[in-house]
Structure 1
Amino acid sequence: MMTVTQAYDAAVTDGRLTRDPAQEGVLPELDRIQAALAEPVRKSLFRKAPPPPKGLYMWGGVGRGKSMLMDLAYAQMDVPKKRQHFHAFMQWVHAEIGEARKTGVDDAIRPVAAKLTADIRLLAFDEMQISDITDAMIVGRLFEALFAAGVTVITTSNRPPVDLYKDGLNRDIFLPFIALLKDRMVVHELAAAQDYRQGRLAGAESYFTPVNADSRARIAAIWQDISHGESEPLTLRIKGRDVVLPQFHNGVARASFYDLCGKPLGAADYLALADAVRVLILEDVPSLGRDNFNEAKRFVTLIDALYEARVRLICSAAADPEYLYREGEGSFEFARTASRLREMQADGWGSA
């Protein structure tokens, strides 16, 4: 098994990565965790097990390589481990709490924490963010249980710990969790100058029309380049509803028009989606009009949410933006959406 630094150097040598000083700056921390986890845990009847090595909280702008570095390290660490996107993790937590409550326990979080910590020494989270008061109240107790059980945590985020759940309701309750993160994890800003995700898409076509075998093949090629054939569904829990993105990898989601606009979703759903992804591949947008008026309204709301959050959009549609909505109620108002779709095709969109 190579060290994380050796694995990084090998990826640079064979052309899979471009050497970046900011990325290299975090490699010693990942090597430190790898070496510490490689040491056997010596348990004694008379002494408590030694505390786990400090984890790592990597934060920085989108596309700087945080998830790539975490995955590189995760692959080199030969210990019982688990990796999840943070949204998917919280979805699992809520489901498990629901099941625990059915048994009548007084504290539904305790059995969930016990199940989570039973068989792992390393837990890796991608894109940690807290925007919901319920999550804010749960996550602190879970992390206390993780650290008490000797689990090391590596996580990525677009913001530093102090900005988690910023301006959230009853944030004072959340502040001890921020202190816990700083105490049990090394906080490292990944300040790479280049957005590699945008670099991969720079100059690439992002709006494909009409929808046919050729446009589907071209979008499939973009997805393959971004995901390397690795993806999993991402479920967002929003006000008691599940919004499912069928394919998700490293901040990039792929879904059809029907997945997101053919179902009764609203602004809150699209805002949560825009907060969870940095690139959305949306396929098979049909011609819009009086026959699919409700779907068209949802599409407008979705584009507004993506635009305000500066999410990169890759899209296949039945017609150019100006000709997507030609007749019926709402066609005049759609002009703003068409203009936004044009602006979102510009090279560099979403990099701010």
Structure 2
Amino acid sequence: MPSRIARAYENRLKQGLLTRDPAQGAAVAALSRLEVDLGRRRLFGGVPEVQGVYLWGPPGRGKSILMDLFFACAPEQRKRRVHFHAFMARVHDLIRQWREGDRQTRQRVFGAHRGDDPIDPVAALIASEARLLCFDELQVTDIADAMILGRLFDALFERKVVICVTSNRAPDQLYKDGINRPLFTPFIDRIVERCAVVALSGARDWRLDRMKASRVWFNGEGEARRTGFEQLWDDLRGGMPECPATLKVLGREVVIQRTAGGLARATFDALCEVPLGPQDYLAIAERFHTLFLEDVPLLTPDRRQAARRFVTLIDALYEARTRLVAIAAGSPEQLYPSGDGAFEFERTVSRLNEMSSQSWLDQAAHSDPD
């Protein structure tokens, strides 16, 4: 009898919500096996160690969609799906709370208070919340994360926590060329040992197909533009949960309130009416493959500072080949026709039109971070 995820996948194919891709077959099979094993553990408790799944491949191959289906179908009641960056941000915060907390605070948060090492109580707290952890877009670029992960996941695995992971990188490519990488490689070995590693590397980029079939610059009258913008956001997000992302730039923190994996969403005011500069926009462009920018206004001469920041933002996105989806009050040509810097703004108009073309989207796809 087919698993629930296999049936859900077939139903989406029949409804036309997905198009059959042979490259996804092995992934569906691995997730089906995990679903069955989790069900057996829940019913019989006789499966002491359930092997997780590590699903990796280039962007746009449907990893998040399959994770969404699996999470909905997984029989484990204590389960949690989270973007890996958000998970590690919480881990660092819990470590801080353990180190800074007095006995009473530790007992209240962790249910324990003894010891100097925060890893075990942090792992115990996480394991008490979820026996199945589903991570979207696991990547490791920070040495602080790299040094924590091995010991943290050892402690989680000892508590029978099962993980299901999506990533753009194969396990042996994680934290590639990172500082003190030999200290990180035991984590890679443990992931390979505790997860079935499945490559999802079909030639077709479903996310790019969806963007090319849609508009990416939404303007005009009525609610149709908002509807199209929201639909494209939902389609590309594929059920991935939203969470804030904090970028560290020159000792400061830039917070993007709405992100989902490599997707970011912000208003024009949040990015261009505040004192952000080139380094901030470069950090955003390097972290995300697509920016959804809401409520781009028609700019008047008295808003020349916002216009300048917008120029700088578009330059950063353009150079990094980060895709832009925008909802605006007018066409690019209408945004800033007069005022200080209007002549220079014409280059931005040209870039915005180029970034809306299918040829540019194709070029941007080839530069997706892996």
- Pairing of 1:280-319 with structure 2 (within 5 A): 280-288=291-299, 291-319=302-330
Overall identity of the aligned pairs, in %: 46
Instruction: Report the Cα offset of residue 125 of structure 1.
Output: 0.5
**What amino acid sits opposite 2:215 in the alignment?**
E
Q: CA deviation at 1:345?
A: 0.5
Pairwise CA distance, 1:256: 0.7
User: Which residue identity lines up with residue 59 of structure 2 in the other structure?
Assistant: V
- Look up the equivalent residue of 1:172 and give its one-letter code: P
Which residue in the other structure is 1:3 paired with? 4
1:5 corresponds to which letter in structure 2? A
Closer/same/farther in 2, CA of residues 72 and 241 from structure 1, 3 Å limit: farther
The aligned amino acid for 1:60 is G
Structure 2: which 5+ residue stretches go unaligned?
Answer: 103-114
Q: Distance in 1 between matches of 2:116 and 2:280?
A: 32
Aligned partner of 1:161 in structure 2 is: 171
1:351 aligns with 2:348: no
**Is structure 2 residue 104 aligned with structure 1 residue 103?**
no
Once residues 281 and 185 of structure 2 are traced to their aligned partners in structure 1, the CA distance between those partners, rounded to angstroms, is 28
1:279 to 272, 282, 290: 290
Output the CA distance in 2 between the equivalents of 1:16 and 1:203.
14
Q: 2:136 aligns with which of 111, 120, 126?
A: 126
Change (3 A) 1:259 1:193: same
- Partner of 1:118, secondary structure, is helix
Q: Are residues 1:179 and 2:160 paired? A: no
Preserved CA contact (<8 Å) 2:5 2:69 = yes
Q: Give the match's secondary structure for 1:40.
A: helix
1:72 equivalenced with 2:69 (yes/no): yes
Kept in 2, the 8 Å contact 1:128–1:156? The answer is yes
Question: CA 1:212–1:68 in structure 2 vs 1: closer, same or farther (change >3 Å)?
Answer: same
- Trace 1:239-254 onto structure 2 (pairs within 5 A): 242-249=253-260, 251-254=262-265
1:3/1:218 CA distance change after superposition, 3 Å: closer
**Offset at residue 65 of structure 1 (A):** 0.5
Residue equivalent to 2:19: 18
Structure 1 residue 113, shift from structure 2 partner:
1.6
Residue deviations 1:5-39, cap 9 Å, x none?
A: 22212221232221110001222211221121112
CA offset at residue 279 of structure 1? 2.6
* Residues 298, 335 of structure 2: 8 Å contact kept: yes
Q: CA deviation at 1:241?
A: 5.1
String of CA shifts for 1:202-241, please: whole Å, max 9, x gaps: 2422223468755434423433554578853332242565
Name the SS of the counterpart of 1:39 in structure 2. Answer: helix
**Map of 1:84-103 to 2, 5 A cutoff?**
84-103=82-101
For normalisation by structure 2, the TM-score amounts to: 0.81
Summarize the Cα distance change of 1:71–1:301 in structure 2 as closer, same or farther, 3 Å threshold: same
Residue 105 (structure 2) aligns with: none
Match of 2:106 in 1: none
Question: Which 5+ residue runs of structure 1 have no aligned equivalent?
Answer: 44-48
Assess if the C-alpha contact under 8 Å between 2:65 and 2:239 holds in 1: no
CA separation of 1:98 and 1:287: change in aligned 2, threshold 3 A: farther
Within-5 A mapping of 1:107-118? 107-118=117-128
Deviates more, 1:230-239 or 1:340-349: 230-239
Asked whether the 8 Å contact 2:3–2:35 carries over to 1, the reply is no
CA contact (8 A) 2:3 2:36 kept: no
Q: Is contact 2:245-2:258 (8 Å) kept?
A: no
Structure number having the greater helix percentage: 2
Which position in structure 2 is the counterpart of 1:147? Answer: 157
Q: Does 1:81 align with 2:83?
A: no
The answer to whether the 8 A contact 2:82-2:136 is kept is yes
Q: In structure 2, how many angstroms separate the alpha carbons of the residues matched to 1:314 and 1:248?
A: 14
> How many residues of Structure 1 are paired with residues of Structure 2 in the alignment?
347
Separation (CA, whole Å) in 2 of partners of 1:260 and 1:92: 25
Counterpart amino acid of 1:14?
Answer: Q
Q: 1:114/1:237 Cα in 2 relative to 1: closer, same or farther (>3 Å)?
A: farther
- Contact persistence 1:91–1:237 (CA under 8 A): no
What is the 5 A alignment of 1:224-263?
Answer: 224-227=234-237, 232-238=242-248, 242-249=253-260, 251-263=262-274
Structure 2 residue matching 1:181: 3-state secondary structure: helix
Over the residues paired in the alignment, what is the CA RMSD in angstroms? 3.0
Q: Give structure 1 regions of 4+ aligned residues with deviation exceeding 6 angstroms.
A: none
Match in the other structure for 1:58? 55
Mapped to 2, the partners of 1:241 and 1:94 lie a distance apart of 17
Closer, same or farther: CA 9–212 of 1 in aligned 2, 3 Å: closer
